[in-house]
Structure 1
Amino acid sequence: MSLALFILGSLADENSHPYKLKKILLDTIPINKISEGKFYYNFEALQKKGLIEPVETIQKENRPNKTLYRITEDGRQFLEQEIYNSFKKVSKIEDVYISIYLLKYIDPVKAVFLLEDAIKQEKKRWAKYKEAKNNDELVKQFQLLDDKQQKAVKFISDHAYSQSDHNILWMEKLLTFLKRIDD
């Protein structure tokens, strides 16, 4: 959904065409490459949902046609709600890169409230995992594994817990960022 959010947020500022927006995205935000097909698919999907609409086709000699799009009123409402939803459901900071980029379309105070709850839920979830690993039944299952499997499970678990701690740390940094954004 973040690609669709980027498209909607960009079109909320000005009418544009897919190629230009893809270039802006790749030049602005450090994300993995995006295939052209995926980018154009998102434009089509947003258009089918009535969230964007074509406004003009620019024709130049010896160049492909460029269709300019604009966001609809439904698209503006959807944009705002989906940005809030992303803060509500965040578990990895990368999942909200686009939403952070589009903060100007929402009330940061409301995002703070949603993010505080998401952090609380994420901490609870990982505390349950950590508690469960000491469960008698899981300890017995772990002991049935051979030495290599036990080492592998320990390696995987260490990484997962480390990543969860790292993600929570960055969610808390994001919370501080949101609280200070208007300062």
Structure 2
Amino acid sequence: MLSEGHHHPYDLKKIFKKNKMDEVSEINDGKLYYNFESLLKKGCIEKIEVVREENRPERTVYGITDKGKDVLKEKIYESFTNFKGIRSIYSSVIFLKHTDLDKSAYMLEEVVNKLKEKITHYDEVWNNIKDKTPPSVHLITDYTHNQMRIDLAWLERVVKFVQNGLQLDGRSEF
């Protein structure tokens, strides 16, 4: 979020709540302030100014450093390399505009290819054992296969989004 502008931790907490991001990830004051301190020590962010509003305590406003921008890119790329499921790349998709889009598209295509291989493997295994399994397993397997196909379709859409310069249905991300 600091790559979008300068903020103090409480600002971010309000943004998370406003955009319902606090429902997707576990964000609490302790984690938020700890992460700011950690990023500051690593040189990824810097103190910009201390502000004080009427009847409010002082708040330190932070901004991202060049090192922080590089780390952000690497964390996004890392999330694609270590893909564990759609939720594991949510925040990376939000901040794609801070990456090399060609590299991101290539990495996402790799994720798509791995998921296609996984689906093919599951289909082969399932075809060999489905006649020997109870109906309850069929229900679970049907759900799993459908979910993988939904994930694949979404990932393919994300690849197109990146390849089109972060354009979706004629609307720009910027």
After TM superposition, the score normalised by the length of structure 2 is 0.76
Write out per-residue CA displacement over residues 81-139 of structure 1, whole angstroms, 9 at most, x where no aligned residue: 22223334445444333222222212212111111111001111222223223456x97
Which residue is equivalent to 1:20?
Answer: 11
Gaps of 5+ in 1: 1-9, 143-149
Which residue is equivalent to 2:28?
Answer: 36
Corresponding residue SS for 2:113: helix
The alpha-carbon deviation at position 68 of structure 1 amounts to 1.4
Corresponding residue SS for 2:2: helix
Gaps of 5+ in 2: 168-174
- In structure 2, give the amino acid aligned to 1:168: L
After TM superposition, the score normalised by the length of structure 1 is 0.73
Task: Determine the C-alpha separation between the residues in 2 that align with 1:42 and 1:151.
Answer: 48
Task: Determine the C-alpha separation between the residues in 2 that align with 1:41 and 1:121.
Answer: 35
Task: Determine the C-alpha separation between the residues in 1 that align with 2:102 and 2:25.
Answer: 32
**Structure 2 residue 119 is the aligned partner of structure 1 residue 126:** yes
In angstroms, what is the RMSD of aligned CA positions? 2.8
More helix by percentage:
1
Aligned length, in residue pairs: 165
Over 3 Å counting, the alpha-carbon distance change for 1:65 and 1:36 in structure 2 is farther
Task: Determine the C-alpha separation between the residues in 1 that align with 2:52 and 2:151.
Answer: 47
Which residue is equivalent to 1:49?
Answer: 42
| Aligned residues with identical type, % of pairs | 35
Determine if contact 2:79/2:92 at 8 Å carries over to the other structure.
yes
Give 2:157's match in structure 1, choosing from 138, 154, 173.
173
Task: Determine the C-alpha separation between the residues in 2 that align with 1:39 and 1:104.
Answer: 23
Over 3 Å counting, the alpha-carbon distance change for 1:134 and 1:41 in structure 2 is farther
